[in-house]
Amino acid sequence: MKSPLDCKYLYGLIGYPLVHSFSMDFFNQKFLAEEIDAQYFNFEIEDLGLLWEIIAEHSNLNGLNVTAPFKEAIIPYMDEMDDDAREVGAVNVVRFMRDKQSGRLIGLKGYNSDVGGFERTLGDVLIPGRDHAMVLGTGGASKAVSAALRRHGVEVQLVSRRKSEHTLVYEEITRAMVAQYTLIVNATPLGKYPDDNLCPDFPYRFLTKDHLCYDLIYNPEETLFMKNSARYGASTKNGIEMLLLQAFDSYEIWTQDDE
């Protein structure tokens, strides 16, 4: 692989950890197949303050994807945001706005492709009568999923390990609640590789064949959340379709001003 500086356009992913991510392989294979002078690089950082250092060291950097734990923390770094990012309060795509003549960085614009990516996977999910969803987690991914579901008239109940005014804790979930909320979405990182022996502390025994349990995680292909759900008859879906849709959207965002 070439050095990140040995290409015309550089894109990347910031977050921590990144060992689970398929994005670098996906984009670099795309660039190679389409003969695009570009490279995608994983910037695995624990401190978001290092973002400015990354930008200073890579003058060819034109766009970033953002993953946990920085989707919300990166907002103060943005000069502009699109409507979805502003509504949700989370950013997962950053476009570098550069002067076309000098290449000088003139600003960062944040986007949220989680909303549209998730929304476009709902065709076989929101069957008639499936109008109540439990969304596990309260981070940036959860906010995007909730926004997309509400646009389709779905009533959303958030679940977390911490109690708040609008959030249930797992211990409060009853059989009657699960019977009502026939779509369960795992928007937490629990179960993501390499910690694939973990899963949300959900009462899986209350699930039935009427439920769909959707895990936003795509690595591993079948998470422990999905296995536990299937054991009680629920249908399952992972996040690979959403990931691919987001990747296409990201590249369109980064290159929208290219001539």
Catalytic residues: 71
Residue reference for tokens 């389709």: 152
- How many CB atoms are located within 10 Å of the residue 195 CB? 14
- CA dist 149 and 135 (Å) reads 10
The amino acid sitting at 90 is A
Distance, CA of 224 to CA of 228 (rounded, Å): 6
- Assess contact for 163 and 186: CB atoms under 8 A: no
* Residues contacting 176, CB < 8 A, separation 6+: none
Could you give phi then psi for residue 91, rounded to 5 degrees?
Answer: -125, 130
Taking the alpha carbons at both ends of the chain, their separation in whole angstroms is: 27
For 25, the token pair is 């392989």
- Minimal CA–CA distance to 226: which of 256, 184, 258, 259? 184
